[in-house]
A = this chain, B = another copy of it.
Amino acid sequence: MARRSDGLATRERVLVAAAALVARDGPLALTLDGAAEAAELSKGAVLYHFKTKDALIEALMRSVLDRFDAMTEAAALKDADRPGAFSRAYVKVAFDPRSNTREASSGLLAAITNNIALLKPAAERHATIQNRLENDGISPSVATLIRLAVDGLYFARAFGLAPPSTAKTAQLQKLLLQMISDDTDRKR
């Protein structure tokens, strides 16, 4: 068999294939064999790039988290240092269909189904986000509300628990952005 000579791309390919697999067939379909087949590799090759299945899942989760973080930071920068800049960026990115895909929840779903301890990185991010929201010029209650509503939307989509329609989602985003504005005004 031909060798690839670009290990990095292969590793990435496994992650993408695994995410697609979970998005399509659910987290239970994510086996080492399944991931290998989806990435058109052997199980041995998958295990070469990820020492254990847990390592694969962790990588899956981190890649999603990092991407989300990067998008949020970028959006926050555009908004300068106005109070509520991070909150607005968080809402915008979280509601962006590009960041809130089925693939985006693959890591989390896999972690839940395989080993809850793997949720730790996600828990840390959540704590960080909560902190940043609270120190963004909005009241703690509104900060918490925003965070939980975003999470709720995320899980509603991930689990198919009556996910709101596109229209309703847009309305909700508007409402949240409005709340942020009102809240920063009140504090000024």
Interface residues of A (CB under 8 A from B): 26-28, 109, 112-116, 119, 122-123, 126-127, 129-130, 140-142, 144-145, 147-153, 155-156, 159-162, 164, 168, 171-172, 174-176
- Give the contacting residue for A168; candidates B140, B155, B168; CB below 8 A: B140
| A159 vs B26: C-alpha distance when bound (angstroms) | 18
Copies in the complex: 2
> How far apart are the CA atoms of A126 and B159 in the complex, in Å?
11
**Contact at A144–B119, with CB atoms within 8 Å?**
no
Inside 8 A of A115's CB, which chain B residues have their CB?
28
Q: In angstroms, how far is the closest chain B Cβ from the Cβ of A133?
A: 11
With both chains docked as a complex, state the minimum distance between the C-beta of A156 and any C-beta of chain B, in angstroms. Answer: 6
Of B109, B114, B142, B147, the contact of A152 (CB 8 Å cutoff) = B147
Nearest chain B CB to A186's CB is how many angstroms away?
13
Q: Which residues of B contact A116 (CB under 8 A)?
A: 26-28, 159-160
Please give me the residue from chain B that is nearest to A122 by CB atom: B161
CB within 8 Å for A123 and B171 given contacts A149-B145, A152-B148: no
Contact pick for A126, options B129, B147, B156, B176, CB 8 Å: B156
| A112-B149 Cα distance, complex, nearest whole Å | 21
Task: Looking at the assembled complex, report how far the CB atom of A61 sits from the nearest CB atom of chain B, in whole angstroms.
Answer: 12
Q: Residue of B at shortest CB range from A155?
A: B155
Establish whether residues B140 and A171, one from each chain, have CB atoms under 8 Å apart when the complex forms.
Answer: yes
Instruction: State A120–B26 Cα separation when bound (angstroms).
Output: 14
**Residues of the B chain whose Cβ atoms lie less than 8 Å from the Cβ of A26:** 116
**Closest residue of B by beta carbon distance from A167:** B140
